[in-house]
Amino acid sequence: MASKLDSLEQWVHDVAAMTRPATIHWCDGSDTEYRALVQQMLQSGDLIELNQQTHPGCYLHRSSPSDVARVEHLTFVCTRDEADAGPNNHWMAPAEAHAKMDALFDGCMEGRTMYVIPYCMGPIDSPLSRCGVEITDSPYVVANMRTMTRMGAAALARIEREGRFVKGLHSTGELDPERRFIMHFPEELSIRSYGSGYGGNALLGKKCHALRIASHQARSEGWLAEHMLIVGIENPQGQTHYIAAAFPSACGKTNLAMLIPPEGYRKEGWRVWTVGDDICWMRPGADGRLYAINPEAGFFGVAPGTSDSSNPNALASIARDTIFTNVAVTADNQPWWEGLPGTPVTDWQGRPYDPANGPAAHPNSRFTVSARQCPTWSPKAEDAQGVPISAIVFGGRRPSLLPLVMEARDWTHGVLMGAAMGSETTAAATGAVGVLRRDSMAMKPFCGYHYGDYFTHWLSLDQPGAKLPKIFHVNWFRKGKDGKFMWPGFGENLRVLEWMIQRVEGNAAGVQTPIGTLPAQGELKLDGLNLPRETLAELLEVDTAGWQTELHAIGEYLDSFAPRLPARLRQEQQRVAQALETPASPRKAANA
């Protein structure tokens, strides 16, 4: 009888015939294998040993200076019908893409080892999890995939049971920016990436599989694959609400996922549990609620800005057994980036540090670490059934207009909030920084199909009997006339999450406005927070004229997805726009 691994073995054979490696290594995910890989990379210079007294098991990797971030303009979704990829993706015909990649992969592994990485995204025994196999010639990728996924023998056993997996083929090639492509074939459940060693382009289980391919799978199978953190908020009574939140890259997802409550909350007994910091897969459960897993097993976090004041839990997580990428180094060989105490002597490119060369650490420098090392890691992250989601939060960097928090009227309004999300661009993607762009559900770089169909899929979850989470929008990044942030953020964000939980439990009335429900006077707990009354008033202000302009811009943005834009979403945009035209009585909100 044929084994269900026959198709995998045949694919590996075919790839080897094309790439012509010197040797083939099937990864088992063991400690012994990892140690051997580290030793090999230390000898080759791919890794640099850091101070083993202060950072045991920690190493530094320096990527090519031209290979430091995702390359969205070289990332393609290759569907048979161009319209299925949508205006939110770059498209290439599958036959053309395969021919282009075949030419690049031809003989590209000569003299190299070809690694075969079986992996599982999500708890190994969860029905919500999905498996994949990445073939790569990069030992750095193998080491990172071991941390970021459930990699090795257990994943291979599940693949043999199920007989299905996502195929990912990767080679660093020559690291030539002119010969670099990341191709996705959703209808084939396959990925081909060439010419980059950077995480988002090379760790194919991450954005490529867990979002672009998985979003396509999720649509056909009735679930959601989202660019969201998952955090548990436990109140003093011991009840835990789980919240999924979407923010564009480098907008504080990791900080929120590892939030440390303000002192007053800690004394009362509030606790925060980290389930995931980047990706969330949600599926309707038998009881009508959405249940979520974190498909990843580790954190691939942005280092700059991670400090004892901003995210002590992240800092504690990466004190050992961590791979750092493109950070600076101190005189005693400790990893360093802007925001940490101390002084760098060597920058991210290995040059003597000179401020004239720019930041010491690359703005998109990273750390790769097991999620289990986080002090707030939740054992529920391994629950096969996932955790029930009470609230979904959208947010972005908006210096004005968007209030601190608002709740959607219903699921359709919430989908509109997510679709309308806007944020200033960051260093996590190549291109200009500080430009406002719409980034629906923070999925613009990651949705593997047409955004119009994606919005339709979100709306389709609103079925009879569904007990869907409440949807909120937050803006931690509102700025005052002095250009400074008005809300302190970080741990203080728990005050806003508490209000959301009160709304979920029916214990806060809120104030109805045309744009959603905002906190009523006294509903945001501000004890111990030095926040002037007029600042709170501005944070919760509804600027009618500004919102009318915003709704018009949202309408134009939505129209860019016609004719596949769901009519229900356009109608919701028009409903909010009309509500803003109707004179309202003065609201008694938290600023009253």
Say what angle helices 214-221 and 451-460 make with each other, to 10 degrees: 40
Q: Which domain holds residue 170?
A: 6-47+67-222
Instruction: Answer yes or no: is 496 within a domain.
Output: yes
Instruction: Answer yes or no: is 287 within a domain.
Output: yes
Q: Are 53 and 332 in contact (CB under 8 A)?
A: no
Give all strands (DSSP E) within 172-237, no chain letters: 181-185, 190-194, 224-226, 228-234
Q: Annotated binding residue at 347? A: no
Q: Annotated binding residue at 70? A: yes
Helix (H) or strand (E) holding 280, with range, is: strand 280-284
Residues 6+ apart with CB under 8 A from 126: 293, 383, 384, 385, 386
Instruction: Answer yes or no: is 401 within a domain.
Output: yes
- Distance between terminal CA atoms of the chain? 74
Show the 3-state SS of 472-541: EEECCCCECCCCCECCCCHHHHHHHHHHHHHHHHCCCCCEEECCEEECECCCCCCCCCCCCHHHHHHHCC
Q: What is the DSSP letter of 151?
A: E
What six digits make up the tokens of 538? 């501005």
Q: Are residues 174 and 202 in the same domain?
A: yes
Q: Which of 27, 251, 280, 447 is catalytic?
A: 251
Instruction: Answer yes or no: is 252 within a domain.
Output: yes
Residues 6+ apart with CB under 8 A from 425: 248, 431, 432, 433, 434, 435, 437
pLDDT at residue 267, as a whole number: 97
Q: Annotated binding residue at 20? A: no
Q: Are residues 78 and 101 in the same domain?
A: yes
Q: What is the pLDDT of residues 356-392, one digit of tens each?
A: 999 999 999 999 999 999 999 999 999 999 999 999 9
The angle formed by the CA atoms of residues 589, 590 and 592, to the nearest 5 degrees, is 65
Q: Annotated binding residue at 252? A: yes
- Distance between CA 229 and CA 243 in Å, rounded? 8
- Distance between CA 345 and CA 333 in Å, rounded? 9
Which of 124, 231, 219, 136 is closest to 443 using CA atoms?
219
What is the pLDDT of the chain when averaged over all its residues?
95
Instruction: Answer yes or no: is 511 within a domain.
Output: yes
Q: Annotated binding residue at 307? A: no
Which of 447, 427, 118 is closest to 279 using CA atoms?
447
Q: Annotated binding residue at 280? A: no
C-alpha separations of 289 from 233, 470, 500 in Å: 18, 11, 17
Q: Are residues 42 and 134 in the same domain?
A: yes
Cross-strand bridge partners of residue 367: 301, 324
Helix (H) or strand (E) holding 215, with range, is: helix 214-221
Instruction: Work out the burial of residue 43: count CB atoms within 10 Å of its CB; fewer than 13 is exposed, 13-18 middle, 19 or more buried.
Output: exposed
pLDDT at residue 588, as a whole number: 45
pLDDT at residue 586, as a whole number: 43
Q: Are 504 and 424 in contact (CB under 8 A)?
A: no
Say what angle helices 451-460 and 567-581 make with each other, to 10 degrees: 80
- Distance between CA 429 and CA 68 in Å, rounded? 9
Q: Are residues 385 and 245 in the same domain?
A: yes
Q: Are residues 202 and 236 in the same domain?
A: no
CATH code of 166's domain: 3.40.449.10
Q: Are residues 194 and 260 in the same domain?
A: no
Q: Are residues 182 and 97 in the same domain?
A: yes
Q: Are residues 92 and 231 in the same domain?
A: no
Instruction: Answer yes or no: is 463 within a domain.
Output: yes
Instruction: Answer yes or no: is 357 within a domain.
Output: no
**Phi-psi map region of 122: left, alpha, beta (phi>0 left; psi -120 to 50 alpha):** left
- Distance between CA 205 and CA 168 in Å, rounded? 8
Which of 63, 51, 150 is closest to 364 using CA atoms?
63
Q: Are residues 265 and 248 in the same domain?
A: yes
Q: Are residues 206 and 289 in the same domain?
A: no
Q: Are 431 and 388 in contact (CB under 8 A)?
A: no
> Residue 579 — φ and ψ, nearest 5°?
-60, -35
Which of 424, 548, 549, 414 is closest to 479 using CA atoms?
424
- Distance between CA 320 and CA 316 in Å, rounded? 8
251 counts as catalytic: yes
pLDDT at residue 248, as a whole number: 83
Q: What is the pLDDT of residues 109-147, one digit of tens each?
A: 999 999 999 999 999 999 999 999 999 999 999 999 999
Which of 152, 160, 150 is closest to 126 using CA atoms?
150
Q: Are 210 and 121 in contact (CB under 8 A)?
A: yes
| Low-confidence stretches of the chain (pLDDT beneath 70) | 1-2, 250, 424-435, 584-592
Instruction: Answer yes or no: is 542 within a domain.
Output: yes
Q: How many domains does the chain have?
A: 2
Q: Annotated binding residue at 313? A: no
Cross-strand bridge partners of residue 277: none
Q: Annotated binding residue at 255? A: yes
- Distance between CA 50 and CA 568 in Å, rounded? 55
CATH code of 560's domain: 3.90.228.20
Which of 140, 144, 120 is closest to 132 using CA atoms?
120
Q: Annotated binding residue at 374? A: no
Q: Are residues 256 and 231 in the same domain?
A: yes
Q: Are residues 126 and 201 in the same domain?
A: yes
Q: Annotated binding residue at 250? A: yes
